[in-house]
Amino acid sequence: GGGGPARARRAAGMAAGTAVVAAWLATVPGTAARLGDLVAPKQFGAMAYGAQWLAANTAPDAQVVSDSGMVAFLAGRRIPPWVAVVSSKRIRIGDLTGTDLVAAAELPSVAAVLLWNDQLQDFPDFMAWLPTRFVRAERVGDDREIWRRFDPAVIGTRQPATFYEVATLEGFTLAGGAADTATAGALPGARALAGATGGAAAGSTVETTAVRAGEAVTLTLYWRAARATPADLTVFVHVDGPAGRTVAQADGPPAAGEWPSSAWVPGQIVVDRRAVAIPPDAPPDTYRVRVGLYDAATSTRVGAGRPDGTLWPDGAVVLAARIAIEASGLPSR
């Protein structure tokens, strides 16, 4: 389309002015009816739905991170001040960075992240980090998403279940996109142990085996369903110290939600890339990685089978790779 910098500036100014007026009207009783006159019905419907979701699923004093301050405002939820304004100018001049967004979303008070106006997606480091702490809860239309924080306190209460079973395979690599179709022979050495209603095989590669405290461990998991899986399962990754204490974890849907387990096709290999942020105060030592699946709806873990037919404790497969964590400030290998 036509236009140029001047026209773009005028449009940006009009949008900012409309947002200010809308914010003022939102303080008046009957906000929804009045605000609907300011924006397109479809857009307002999405905003109203997002606000209703936040109001129903987050605490009144919770904060959110979003590139739409209006949705948070309508829900009565605050945004951390330094990320409250997400604008193309701030992004262009480097006044807002992915590190800023991660720091804001790490706040314990932040209960949700809204990807609303295609601006947070401009920060690839933030988008790569997001699935390590949040789970996509809702799609609103074709291009808006609501992510909720995963509560790590729930993990300790989950018990093994035997509805699905997982076998482990080390050293398997796969080129290509997010998912590829393959035969059972593509996972040599893996065992698909049939459960009551489903089964899967899993492989893994660990890309970083030595990091500094404060950095991230990256790994790739490979899931292959033996038969259709009726539930949308969540993946967990734990990094444990020598004493067995979990120092870092990352939970989220397979493949960042692009390939939920309910959509897995038997024989298909789903590539699931993950990053686990190591706390800056993690003591130097050698750590192990445990992975598995659980059903968030019932808070039960999937039973994980060893090649000898026994089950891994707590449904957590221990990967063969070990992670060397060095003191923060030392160069990583």
Per residue in 178-199, pLDDT (tens digit) is 333 333 334 322 333 223 224 4
Same domain, 111 and 160: no
Same domain, 98 and 201: no
Q: Tell me the sheet residues that pair with 204.
A: 170, 221
The answer to whether residue 101 is domain-embedded is yes
Same domain, 163 and 270: yes
Q: pLDDT confidence of 287, banded at 50, 70, 90?
A: very high
Per residue in 61-80, pLDDT (tens digit) is 999 999 988 899 989 999 99
Query: 149, 174, 192: which is the final residue of a domain?
Result: 149
Same domain, 120 and 89: yes
Query: Which residues, at least 6 apart from 20, have a Cβ–Cβ distance to it below 8 Å?
Result: none
The answer to whether residue 333 is domain-embedded is no
Overall size of the chain counted in residues? 333
pTM for the full predicted model: 0.45
- Identify which of 48, 78, 74 has the alpha carbon closest to the alpha carbon of residue 65: 78
Q: Number of folded domains in the chain?
A: 2
Q: Which residues of 13-49 are buried (b: 16+ CB within 10 A; e: fewer)?
A: eeeeeebeebeeebeeeebeeebeeebeeeebebbbb
Query: 149, 176, 210: which is the final residue of a domain?
Result: 149
pLDDT at 303: 75
- Identify which of 15, 10, 16, 37 has the alpha carbon closest to the alpha carbon of residue 26: 37
Same domain, 16 and 142: yes
**Cα-flanking dihedrals φ and ψ of residue 326, to 5°?**
-100, 165
Q: Does pLDDT of 26 surpass 60?
A: no
Domain residue limits at 315: 153-326
The answer to whether residue 331 is domain-embedded is no
Q: Does pLDDT of 175 surpass 70?
A: no
Same domain, 186 and 234: yes
CATH of the domain at 263: 2.60.40.2550
Same domain, 43 and 169: no
Mapped onto helix, strand or coil, the DSSP state of residue 317 is strand
Higher pLDDT, 190 or 270: 270
